[in-house]
Amino acid sequence: MEYAVIFLPLLGSIVTYFAKSIGTLFSQIFSCSMIFLSAVLSCFIFYEGIINKTYGNYLIFEWINSGNFIVNWSINIDPLSSIMIVIVTSVSALVHIYSVGYMSKDPHKPRFMSYLSLFTFSMLCLVVSDNFLQLFFGWEGVGLCSYLLIGFWFKRETANNAAIKAFLVNRVGDFGLAIGIFLIFLFFGTVNFNEVFLLVPEFTQTNFNFFGGEFNIITLICVFLFIGAMGKSAQFFLHTWLPDAMEGPTPVSALIHAATMVTAGVFLIVKCSPIFEYSQFALNLIAIIGMITAIFAASIALVQNDIKKIIAYSTCSQLGYMFFATGVGAYHIAMFHLFTHAFFKALLFLGAGSVIHAFHDEQDITKMGGVWKKIPYTMILMLIGTLALTGFPFLSGFYSKDAIIEFAYLKNSVTGNYVSSVGILTAFLTAIYSWRLFFKTFFGDYNNKTIPINKTHESPLIMIIPLIILAIGALIAGYIFKELFIGNTSSFWGDSILFLEFIKLENIPLWLILITPVLILIAIPISYYLFIINKNILEGVKNSNLPLYKFLLNKWYIDDIYNYIFIEPLKKLGLFFWKKGDLNTIDRYGPDGISKLIKFISNKAVQFQSGYIYDYAFVMLIGLSALITYLILN
């Protein structure tokens, strides 16, 4: 069963890709069936783990055997990986089904479905790995698949640029992860998780000379592992690829943002909690970057107009929550938020796809509005996703997001206090931009001048059904699984997460329990007034040329800074080497020079082909003279 969960998506990808000639319908049915079956089996594994604690390591084959260095290709099922396979396969199955309707007019549906299945397989390889090398294989696999899917519509220049950007930015993070793995092998002599985690306490006082400085080896490993996580999970400094990834089809956005690629970084930190727990510096760094990411992305989402980019920045912000949760030691709560986030974020992305479908590929929310009666099902489902994202009381996001803030406060440390404060502020900003998106999309005046309102239409049933299932998860998943994942008496996590200091969620001040829900409720009428009733207030702010608005609209100028520091100088350097190196040196004296020389010689030689005997006799005489000279000299 464990083998089937992992390899059914791979089978679906291969068969779907190479069976294109059989027909589009077959490719869609087969790929959806394989993922759906994998999702059912993963739920069964998760259930068996809860009830009977049936976890284990299932060998596929021995990968590397060199002396004492042994690395297997295995399927490691523990509480942490069992949750991840449920999230990955379940969301992927719904995205596959949704894609049948969303991509119905695309001529390359089999290739798209194949890429989705391959993406799922790569992520599954990552989360069930029992060593760092297998994890790195899945890590690079999701990076490759993201490139293929983001750039799926490769005839669009913007899609190609976005795919390249995602690939290159992730290479920066992946380089950090690779260095971390090299250091682990150098000092521990193994890359198997269990063996490494057992050896960590022995190296807590070991220093290493790195570029002329003495660093604690555990801290150094943690920092490089975190750099890898920053790239995949789009944390501040390495976040720039994520909004541009919206150039891919909407189902891709949902799969990348809700269940696969961006959650890999959080999973890595939680998986390596037995290492991170011994480096307070690394944990503080994670918390700081997570806080910056949360507030940074939420502030930018306030002024964006592309419906998918608003949700993309929302993902970036929620990942910040997960990271600063791990930074204060709340690994289990970070995973709980990852779990609930998968439902409502997939719901929002696929709901956005339904809106885009209704508006004939329009994505600008300023060109929407007033269509709640035309697409009522999409509106209701997007409402549920919005409520869950904002942390509305008793929906999934409420339980997981508030738990992060409460745990950080109970940590009673400088970092914990900052984390709880930033978490509360970000929750308020999240509510503002979320309701802005919702109200401007469905309410107010109809603002589209190119598409008559009677041309907008509800999505087909095959797109609505996945939204309904995700909406159910967004409504009840937090309540159902709260005690299992973060309950004070729960023993679910077992040895899959290490807590050197476990803090119970108890004796929480009443003001802390109430402050976030109150702010969220206040944000609803504020948003409705500013974005629907009296738009002149914000229009006046925009037209006043305030630096803050421009600052947010230009995404804190991070892309411009990177462009100035890295992109333009590298372009100029590349242009210099291309012209001076390739064209004027290598090509001039290499293939071009040789070809010109041969052409010159051949042109001269042709002149002897005159048809006169005395020309041929002259050539023969020169040849005979050359031969005699050679024989005499030797």
What is the tens place of the pLDDT at every residue in 451-469? 888 888 888 899 999 999 9
Residue 20: its pLDDT value, please?
Answer: 67
**Average pLDDT for 155-176:** 88
**pLDDT of 213 over the 90 cut:** no
> How many C-beta neighbours within 10 Å does residue 8 have?
23
Task: Report which DSSP code applies to 455.
Answer: G
Residue 136 contacts by C-beta under 8 Å, 6 or more apart in sequence?
177, 178, 181
Q: Which long-range contacts (CB under 8 A, 24 or more apart) does 525-530 make?
A: 526/432, 527/431, 527/432, 527/435, 527/436, 527/439, 528/435, 528/439, 528/443, 530/436
Only one residue has tokens 């929750």, namely: 427
**Average pLDDT for 287-306:** 92
Can you list the positions of beta strands (E) in 121-197? Answer: none
Residue 617: its pLDDT value, please?
Answer: 78
Which amino acid is present at 352? A
Task: Report which DSSP code applies to 505.
Answer: S
Task: Report which DSSP code applies to 392.
Answer: -
Measure the CA–CA gap between 339 and 337, rounded to whole angstroms.
5
> Sorting pLDDT into bands at 50, 70 and 90, what band is 517?
very high
Measure the CA–CA gap between 300 and 557, rounded to whole angstroms.
11
Contact 287, 414 (CB under 8 A): no
DSSP codes, 13-59: HHHHHHTTTT-HHHHHHHHHHHHHHHHHHHHHHHHHHHHH---EEEE
Strands 69-77, 207-210: parallel, antiparallel or unpaired by DSSP? Answer: unpaired
Which amino acid is present at 136? F
Residue 335 contacts by C-beta under 8 Å, 6 or more apart in sequence?
80, 83, 266, 270, 485, 497
**Average pLDDT for 195-221:** 87
Return the CA Rg of the chain: 29
DSSP codes, 536-593: HHHHHHHHTT-HHHHHHHTGGGHHHHHIIIIIHHHHHHHHHIIIIIIIIIIIHHTHHH
* DSSP reduced 3-state for 371: coil
pLDDT digits (tens, 9 = 90+) for 229-274: 999 998 988 888 888 888 888 888 888 877 678 889 999 999 999 9
In sequence order, the β-bridge partners of residue 131 are 192
In sequence order, the β-bridge partners of residue 74 are 59
Only one residue has tokens 């159910």, namely: 472
Contact 356, 428 (CB under 8 A): no
Tokens matching residue 429:
């900003």
**Average pLDDT for 486-506:** 83
**Average pLDDT for 418-447:** 92
> How many C-beta neighbours within 10 Å does residue 550 have?
12
Measure the CA–CA gap between 574 and 578, rounded to whole angstroms.
6
360 Ramachandran zone, left/alpha/beta (phi>0; psi -120 to 50): left
Per mean pLDDT, which range of 203-212, 508-517, 521-530, 593-602 is the poorest?
593-602
DSSP codes, 349-361: HHHHHHHHHHTTS
Residue 86: its pLDDT value, please?
Answer: 94
Q: How far is Cα of residue 592 from the mean position of the Cα atoms in its chain?
A: 45
Residue 155: its pLDDT value, please?
Answer: 80
Q: How far is Cα of residue 388 from the mean position of the Cα atoms in its chain?
A: 21
* Torsion sign (Cα): 301, 304, 310, 315: negative
Which amino acid is present at 378? T
Residues in the chain: 634
As a whole number, the mean pLDDT across the chain is: 88
**pLDDT of 395 over the 80 cut:** yes
Residue 456: its pLDDT value, please?
Answer: 85
Residue 284: its pLDDT value, please?
Answer: 93
Q: Counting beta carbons within 10 angstroms of the beta carbon of residue 536, is it exposed (0 to 12), middle (13 to 18) or buried (19 or more)?
A: exposed
Contact 67, 139 (CB under 8 A): no
Tokens matching residue 441:
């999309």
Select from 337, 371, 383 the least CA-distant residue to 87.
337
**pLDDT of 17 over the 80 cut:** yes
Residue 313: its pLDDT value, please?
Answer: 92
Determine the angle formed by the axes of helices 250-258 and 331-358, rounding to 10 degrees: 170
Q: Which range has highest mean pLDDT (25-29, 83-87, 563-567)?
A: 83-87
**pLDDT of 607 over the 80 cut:** no
pLDDT digits (tens, 9 = 90+) for 544-598: 777 888 888 888 888 888 888 888 888 888 887 777 777 777 777 777 777 877 8
> How many C-beta neighbours within 10 Å does residue 215 have?
16
Contact 414, 280 (CB under 8 A): no
Task: Report which DSSP code applies to 192.
Answer: B
**Average pLDDT for 272-300:** 93
Measure the CA–CA gap between 512 and 407, rounded to whole angstroms.
11
Residue 608: its pLDDT value, please?
Answer: 65
Residue 614: its pLDDT value, please?
Answer: 67
**Average pLDDT for 119-135:** 92
